[in-house]
Amino acid sequence: MVVILAIVEGITEFLPVSSTGHMILVNKFIGGEYLSPTFINSFLIIIQLGAIFSVVVYFWKDISPFVRTKKEFVSRFRLWLKI
C-alpha cells in the first residue's frame, strides 16, 4: 500500500497537477481504509519532503545565500524574493 502511494507520488510530483490529490484518490481506490487517518496524513506530508529536498539540492547553486560579488547578491536576493 505504502509502496504504491510512494510510486504515485514520484510519478505525479512534478506534473502540473496535485500529487497529493492523486495519492488521496489512489488510497481510496485501493482500499486504504484500514490505515489510520493520522498515518495517512503524516505519510502525505513526509513523503513530499523528499521532493522538496531534491529541488533544494538541485537548485542549491542558484538559491544559496553565500555569494562573492554584489551582482550575485542582488541577483540571488531577487530570486529569494520570488520564492
pLDDT tens digits for 31-41?
767 777 788 78
Spacing of C-alpha 26 from chain mean position: 18
| Structural domain count of the chain | 1
CB-CB contact of 47 with 9 (8 Å): yes
pTM of the model: 0.52
Roughly how many angstroms between the first and final C-alpha of the chain, as a whole number?
Answer: 34
pLDDT of 15 over the 80 cut: no
Give mean pLDDT, residues 9-16.
77
Full domain range(s) for residue 7: 2-82
Alpha carbons 63 and 32: distance in angstroms, whole number: 39
Alpha carbons 30 and 4: distance in angstroms, whole number: 9
